[in-house]
C-alpha cells in the first residue's frame, strides 16, 4: 500500500513509532573507528492480539510496515549511502519506552563504496534524515 506523508504521520501516531540514530563502530587495526550509523525504528507491539500465531503474524506485518516507512523516509533513488537491513527480531524491550514490548527494525548505514570512516559531512547529512523522519511523524527516543 502506498502512503503519502500525511498517511504516514497518522500511521506513526497510531503505532507509536520512535527512532534512534547511533554510531556504528568497527575495530580496524586495533583502533575503534566509526564506520557508519544505525537507524532503528520501533513501534508498539500488537499486544491486543492473542498470544501465539496471531500476535506473531501481526508483528511480522508491523515489521513490513516499518520497512516501508524507512523506504518512504529515504527512497532508494535518493540514497547516497549503502544500507543493510538487520534480520527481524522477535521483540524489543527498551528502557526509553519503559520496557513496553516493541517491534523494531534496524538499518546499518555505510559509505557506498569501500569502507571509510565517517566524516563531518556524513554527520551533517544526518540532520536532513532526522528532519524527514520528523516530517513523517516519528519521535526520537520514545513516544
Q: What is the pLDDT of residue 93?
A: 92
pLDDT tens by residue, the chain, 143 residues = 579 999 999 999 999 999 999 999 888 888 888 888 999 999 999 999 999 999 999 999 999 999 999 999 988 888 888 888 998 887 899 998 889 999 999 999 887 777 788 888 888 888 889 999 999 999 999 87
Q: What is the pLDDT of residue 117?
A: 82
What ranges do the domains of the chain cover?
5-140
Instruction: Output the CA angle 133-27-107, nearest 5 degrees.
Output: 25
Phi/psi of residue 93, nearest 5 degrees:
-130, 100
Pairing verdict, β 139-140 and 18-28: parallel
Q: What is the pLDDT of residue 106?
A: 94
The secondary structure of 19-64 as a DSSP string is EEEEEEEEEETTEEEEEEEEEEEEEE--TTSPTTHHHHHHHHHHHH
In this structure, the number of other CB atoms found within 10 A of the CB of residue 74 comes to 19
Residue 137 and residue 13 in contact, taking contact as beta carbons nearer than 8 Å: yes
Q: Which residue is it, cell 520501533? A: 42
Q: How far apart are CA 21 and CA 136, in angstroms?
A: 16
Instruction: Output the CA angle 75-41-7, nearest 5 degrees.
Output: 60
**Dihedral sign (CA 30, 31, 35, 39):** positive
Amino acid at each position: 500500500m502506498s502512503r503519502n506523508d500525511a498517511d504516514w504521520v497518522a500511521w506513526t501516531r497510531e503505532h507509536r513509532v520512535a527512532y534512534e540514530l547511533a554510531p556504528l563502530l568497527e575495530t580496524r587495526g586495533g583502533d575503534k573507528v566509526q564506520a557508519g550509523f544505525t537507524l532503528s525504528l520501533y513501534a508498539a507491539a500488537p499486544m491486543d492480539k492473542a498470544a501465539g500465531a496471531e500476535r506473531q503474524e501481526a508483528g511480522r506485518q508491523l515489521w513490513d510496515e516499518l520497512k516501508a516507512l524507512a523506504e518512504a523516509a529515504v527512497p532508494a533513488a535518493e540514497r547516497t549511502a549503502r544500507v543493510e537491513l538487520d534480520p527481524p527480531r522477535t521483540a524489543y524491550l527498551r528502557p526509553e519506552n519503559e520496557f513496553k514490548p516493541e517491534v523494531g527494525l534496524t538499518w546499518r548505514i555505510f559509505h557506498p563504496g569501500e569502507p571509510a570512516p565517517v566524516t563531518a559531512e556524513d554527520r551533517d547529512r544526518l540532520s536532513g534524515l532526522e528532519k524527514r523522519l520528523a516530517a513523517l511523524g516519528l519521535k526520537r527516543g520514545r513516544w
